Structure 1
Amino acid sequence: MLEDTSLTAQEVADILKITKNTVYELIKRGDLNGYKVGKKIRIDVKDVEDYKNKTKNRRGTKTDVQEKNISTATNSYAFSINDTKVYSSSEFVICGQDVLLDILSRYLELNSQGIHVLRSYAGSFNALLGLYHGKVQIATSHLWDGDSNEYNIPYVRRMLPGIPSLIIHLACRTQGFYVQKGNPKGIKGWEDLKRPDINIVNREKGSGSRVLLDEHLRLIGVPGYTIKGYHRECVSHLAVASTVARGEADIGLGNEKSSQQVQGVDFIPLQKERYELVMKKEDMHKKPFKAIIDIIRSEEFKMELSGIGGYDLTETGKLIAEL
């Protein structure tokens, strides 16, 4: 029975003696494997045990210390468009999932006195929705439109109606398939999703990777529900790659950088994507927003990203569109 082997986020929180939000954060970071059943997050018992053993083996690392580090180092904010919390003028929410935003947040706090940066790890679609509703100050997006072959601009136009906006380029990343080591099923590209012997693991609704998959499925005429594993969701690239590495799926979609962090997977490059920052034009002359633009365009910031690897920084800091 599923109930005998899987746990809710609250049950995991009780076992590890941490908060439920920290459980979600661990899943988003790929430290703890999780998946969705309907609208609920579930975690397998064996994955909790693996996580506990992994942290025990880290010298000087304990779960309660890790919880403290997550909450203070990233200032994580669990985003919801239904959230009624009112943030003070000194609290600044940056929405998106890439690690480069954690680096950007650190630079902003160091360079802007009095600004307390909060991080939301919502996907691209919900990030733009949060910007529209005034729940976040900065959104990031890597949403591909299959009809125009454009990134982000078509979505910003539709999702921020009547709101003059700026799109500033952060980086390009390579999206592709994670497959098991050696690619035993000979997977080459999108057309392989038509095969009846293929089992996939998906990203959550609203993420840029999920939109990319759904757009390509639409273009090749394959309804998602016909693909085995389509409704199984993970909330990070690392969790998707790990699922494939364990042999629980044949294909997962994600960026190249995450494939390099997981043993047991190969990466099939499919598409170069544009990862970009979106802000309201009315904010561009305000202190924290000007600071963000200056940071993104600085050589120091670009050098740090270059050292991490996995990013094409050719256009970093370029104003892509005023809408």
Structure 2
Amino acid sequence: MARKDDSVTCHVKEFRLKKGWSQQELAEAIDVRRQAIYDIESGRYLPNTAIALRLARVFSCRVEDLFVEKSPPAIEPVHIVNGSGEPSSRLALGRVRDRLVGLPLQGAESIPFGLRAADGLLNPDKKSAFILSPAANLEKTIILMGCDPAFEILSHHVSRVAPEARVYCRFASSHRALNALADSVTHVAGTHLHNTGDKESNVMVAKQKLSGVSSNVLGFSLLEEGLMVAKGNPLGIRTVADLAQPMVRFINREAGAALRVLLDDHLQQAGIDGTIINGYQNEVKSHREGAFRIACNVADAALGLRAIAEAYGLGFVPITAARCDLVIPKDFSSHPTIKVLMDVLQSALLRKEIDSIPGYEGGNITGKLIAEL
């Protein structure tokens, strides 16, 4: 195998799917391991000349049809509309007459403020809805439940590849998302539970909750979790033990949330009874709610992600990093938007953007098959 090369686009998966082959079947056809096919299709590695020729032979095409050199990325002058402080490297872009305008995706102004257009209106009987969206739109919409803010980025990457495909992201804790998947009210569940010992908690809990529903568990991101604090960390909070100081006003997450479990584990290790913490019983149900309370100076610390802390201009005290996975039942594999999502998860562009988010890492995690349930 050659090293990963982001300048080349791999079309092996498209040719394989046209044949109706699995990765294992293709691997057997060219005498390599299935992992090699996964790595080639995900763009992590380019095959050597011998394997590339074998692939071209089984598909009856040219090597150049399978591996296409990308055009170099465009670089243009950009006018930054700056708020306060240094602009984020991540920008929303738009052309205004002859100028490319960049809006930094950081700070309170970057948080979406508008209302989402409805697909339907609930009727007075509370059991039916007046449909506003075309039926074709609903057939190409999937629901993704979880609490990783980067799911919205995944949604946008899917829409760029297939404008008619829609991924509607709904915030839910890992347990709520998996319960929703088991109850057939979502297509995809995001989970970032913390491992205990050598056990894969995401896989173990998903297997328990789905009770026999055949599913794939795919890696999405590695995200940094900890305590969001006021800018500059004026109270000098360094560990969860510092939350027990009387002057610290703390905001907790709801029972069962992955971050709440993480906090309780660390408090137990430190020999601290959580009930002595000022605000331990004050709960919010999202990272953003906690960050907002700190920004409004009604709290000094809350559980959350580095990315959310930076978006609100807050300080951050890291505790750990957790892997966020996507759980997708195999019977959804024929859904047109699930197909696009699966391809996008192998995209070098998605991994590049995930890597650019503060406190995030995509690298060899995004799109990796973690387990089959």
Range class of TM-score, shorter chain: 0.5 to 0.7
* 1:208 matched residue in structure 2: 258
- Equivalent-residue separation in structure 2 for 1:227 and 1:262 (angstroms): 24
> Residues 80-99 of structure 1: matches in 2 within 5 Å?
89-99=139-149
Q: What is the CA-CA distance between 1:113 and the residue it aligns to?
A: 7.2
Contact 2:217 2:370 in 1 (8 A): yes
Q: Say which of 150, 156, 160 aligns to 1:100.
A: 150
SS at match of 1:244: helix
Deviation at 1:223, TM superposition (A): 4.8
Kindly indicate whether the alpha-carbon contact (under 8 Å) linking 1:126 and 1:206 is maintained by their aligned counterparts in 2. Answer: no
Instruction: Confirm whether residue 291 of structure 1 aligns to residue 337 of structure 2.
Output: no
In 1, Cα distance between equivalents of 2:237 and 2:331: 47
Mind listing any 5+ residue stretches in structure 1 that lack a counterpart? 1-57, 59-64, 77-82
CA drift of 1:172 comes to 0.7
SS at match of 1:273: strand
Runs of 4+ aligned residues of structure 1 deviating over 6 Å after TM superposition are: none
The one of 212, 229, 232 aligned to 2:279: 229
Going from structure 1 to structure 2, the CA distance change for 1:126 and 1:294 (only over 3 Å counts) comes to same
Distance 2:337 2:151 in 1: 14
SS class of match (2:311): coil
For residues 221 and 274 of structure 2, the distance between their equivalents in structure 1, rounded to whole angstroms, comes to 29
1:178 to 211, 220, 228: 228
Distance in 2 between the 1:186 and 1:308 partners? 25
- Alpha-carbon distance, 1:259 to partner: 1.6
1:280 to 2:326 alignment: no
2:179 paired residue among 98, 104, 129: 129
Greater helix content? 1
CA 310–122 in structure 1, closer or farther in 2 if over 3 Å, else same = same
Secondary structure (helix, strand or coil) at the match of 1:293 reads: helix
Judge which range, 204-213 or 137-146, deviates more. Answer: 204-213
Q: Which amino acid aligns with 2:332?
A: D
* 1:269 has 2:318 as partner: yes
1:18-60 per-residue CA deviation (whole Å, 9 max, x = no partner) reads: xxxxxxxxxxxxxxxxxxxxxxxxxxxxxxxxxxxxxxxx8xx
Change (3 A) 1:148 1:221: farther
How many residue pairs are counted as aligned between the two chains?
250
- SS at the partner of 2:278? coil
Task: Specify the alignment match of 1:189 in structure 2.
Answer: 239
Distance in 2, matches of 1:84 and 1:205, equals 33
Matching residue within 157, 170, 179 for 1:120 = 170
Match of 2:291 in 1: 241
Partner deviation per Cα, 1:76-97 (whole Å, 9 max, x = no partner): 9xxxxxx998x96443211123
**Bigger relative contact order (CA 8 A; separation at least 6):** 1
Shift of 1:273: 1.2
Q: Secondary structure at the match of 1:143?
A: coil
- Cα displacement (A) at 1:194: 4.5
Shift of residue 102 of structure 1?
1.8
The alpha-carbon deviation at position 305 of structure 1 amounts to: 3.0
For residues 163 and 224 of structure 1, the distance between their equivalents in structure 2, rounded to whole angstroms, comes to 37
Match of 1:318 in 2: 368
> How has the CA–CA distance of structure 1 residues 133 and 258 changed in structure 2, closer, same or farther, with 3 Å as cutoff?
same
Deviation (angstroms), 1:149? 6.6
Name the residue aligned to 1:11.
none
Match of 1:21 in 2: none
Name the CA shift for 1:251/1:67 in 2 (closer, same or farther; >3 Å). closer
Aligned Cα root-mean-square deviation (Å): 3.3
**Aligned counterpart, 2:117:** 71
Q: Which residue of 1 aligns with 2:211?
A: 161
Larger Rg: 2
Q: What is the alpha-carbon distance in structure 2 between the residues aligned to residue 171 and residue 114 of structure 1?
A: 25
In the alignment, the residues of structure 1 paired with residue 266 and residue 197 of structure 2 have an alpha-carbon distance, to the nearest angstrom, of 10
Task: Give the C-alpha shift of residue 189 in structure 1.
Answer: 1.4
Using the alignment, how far apart are the partners of 1:137 and 1:215 within structure 2? Answer: 31
SS in 2 for 1:93: strand
SS in 2 for 1:201: strand
Matches of 2:334 and 2:161 in 1, distance apart? 16
Query: CA 1:219–1:288 in 2, change beyond 3 Å: closer, same or farther?
Result: farther
Give per-residue Cα distances to partners, 1:139-173, cap 9 Å, x unaligned: 10111244557441232122222223221111111
Change over 3 Å in CA distance of 1:225–1:159 after alignment to 2:
farther
TM-score normalised to the size of structure 2? 0.57
Instruction: Structure 2 unaligned segments of length 5 or more: list them.
Output: 1-108, 121-126, 130-134
* Cα distance between partner residues in 2 of 1:204 and 1:317: 29
CA–CA distance in structure 1, aligned partners of residues 204 and 300 of structure 2: 32
**In 2, Cα distance between equivalents of 1:71 and 1:211:** 35
In 1, Cα distance between the equivalents of 2:160 and 2:294? Answer: 39
For 2:352, the equivalent position in structure 1 comes to 303
Distance 1:297 1:129, change over 3 A: same
| TM-superposition CA deviations, 1:207-228 (whole Å, max 9, x none) | 4323332443455554544432
Secondary structure in structure 2 of the residue aligned to 1:303 = helix
- Counterpart position of 2:11: none
Given the superposition, is the C-alpha separation of residues 308 and 180 from structure 1 closer, same or farther in structure 2, using an over 3 Å criterion?
closer
